[in-house]
Amino acid sequence: MRIALGSDHAGYSLKKCIKEFLEGTSFSVGDFGAQNAEDPYDYPNAAFSVGEKVARGDFDLGILICGTGIGMVMAANKIPGVRAALAYDEDTARFARRHNNANILGMGGRKTDCNSGIKIVKEWLYSEFEGGRHLARTEKIKAFENSHSRCAVRKESPRLVTFDHPLIQHKLGMIRDKNTSVKVFRELVQEIAGLMVFETTRNLPLEPVEVETPITKTTAFSLSGKKVAIIPILRAGLGMVDGILQLIPNAKVGHIGLYRDPETLEPVEYYCKLPGDIGERDIIIVDPMLATGGSASAAIDLVKRRGGMKISLLCLIAAPEGVSKVHEKHPDVDIFAAAIDSHLNDHGYIVPGLGDAGDRLFGTR
Ligand code: RB5
């Protein structure tokens, strides 16, 4: 288990002592400052650094120490996915874990000495979350957090991003409806794919360019040569391509066709045509439904074998089973999904899902 430590100047000495204790255990430790007790080091610096690492899953847990611990907890709790709790004794440390599943422990370097600090840390580390009614409550916090953030990065899986934008959720509700016509379904799938890509491309690098407006010369911005490839998994993935191309018209489009061998149930490739320079492109594999994860994993395998390196998977609805399978085989791949549904039924359909996306797109039911 990996633990991220952080303090300000006032928490430095207690952090040092907790660090020495943890280094004598099987936990692995990352130290994100402060470096000493003399130079002022603002607590939000350490809180954001440790909080983000825990929220992303780079570290399992975090410990943050300032003079009182109060500022640390306030700052860390601004980060979606963080549940930071302040503990001054073993009792509060135990309940911070058992009832609140705190993934960050806040302590006060001016309130707690080294020995008591170690006892508090031990109590917190070795207590277990009780789940049940307490889980329902932490889930309420998570639901609130998700409904107030632009997009939610689920901590359970650092490479899984879901979208809570009202337009996406509204349109998703419409395509789930079995009475939605083929025409409307097709239009909505394109629209949702476009809206999702608008968000997933937010980190594409820009470079300044000189342009002349009808009024004057100015410096504007242009995408700095990032090349994108969209790769639909046939056939349902085709339904998402145009929506994405509307936003990234210069993207190249590859195609992957897979069918399921009726005997082995394994996906078998029947078609694969990718852009020649696939190794240099940001690759978005698209498939509306991530169900078992078999086809998606096979498609990613195929793209990697052809030299693809920076790969993400964009789907409208994912089942937890599919997410786990893809991340088990391809932990380097980011998955973007408009929604994570409950589970797969005995026929491999996502529940509640929307039925067979290919049939609904092409009217072949
Ligand atoms: C620093 O003097 C102190 O304000 C800080 O360590 C902390 O107690 C904030 O909550």
Would the pLDDT of 100 be above 90? yes
Distance 25 CA to ligand 1 centre (A): 29
Would the pLDDT of 207 be above 90? no
Would the pLDDT of 154 be above 80? no
Distance 120 CA to ligand 1 centre (A): 20
The mean pLDDT value for 104-125 works out to 98
pLDDT value at position 163? Answer: 86
The mean pLDDT value for 183-192 works out to 96
Burial label for 249, CB within 10 Å (0-12, 13-18, 19+), is exposed
Distance 3 CA to ligand 1 centre (A): 22
Residue 206 tokens, joined: 């820009």
Residue nearest atom 7 of ligand 1, based on CA coordinates: 67
CA distance 291 to 35: 47
CA dihedral (42, 47, 50, 56) positive or negative: negative
Mean pLDDT, all residues of the chain: 92
**Which atom of ligand 1 lies closest to the CA of 109?**
6
CB under 6 Å to ligand 1: residues? 8, 10, 43, 66-68, 70-71
Asked if 46 and 30 touch (Cβ cutoff 8 Å), the reply is no
Catalytic residues: 260, 264, 356, 359
Distance 92 CA to ligand 1 centre (A): 20
Tell which wins on pLDDT, 283 or 261: 283
Would the pLDDT of 155 be above 50? no
- Phi, psi for 333 (deg, rounded to 5): -95, 130
pLDDT value at position 153? Answer: 45
Residue 124 tokens, joined: 């917190």
Would the pLDDT of 147 be above 90? no
pLDDT value at position 150? Answer: 53
- Tell me which residue of 319, 315, 316, 265 sits closest to 291, measured CA to CA: 319
- Tell me which residue of 314, 320, 331, 332 sits closest to 293, measured CA to CA: 320
- Cα end-to-end span (Å), the chain: 49
**Which atom of ligand 1 lies closest to the CA of 11?**
6
pLDDT in tens, 310-346: 999 999 999 999 999 999 999 999 999 999 988 999 8
**Which atom of ligand 1 lies closest to the CA of 69?**
10
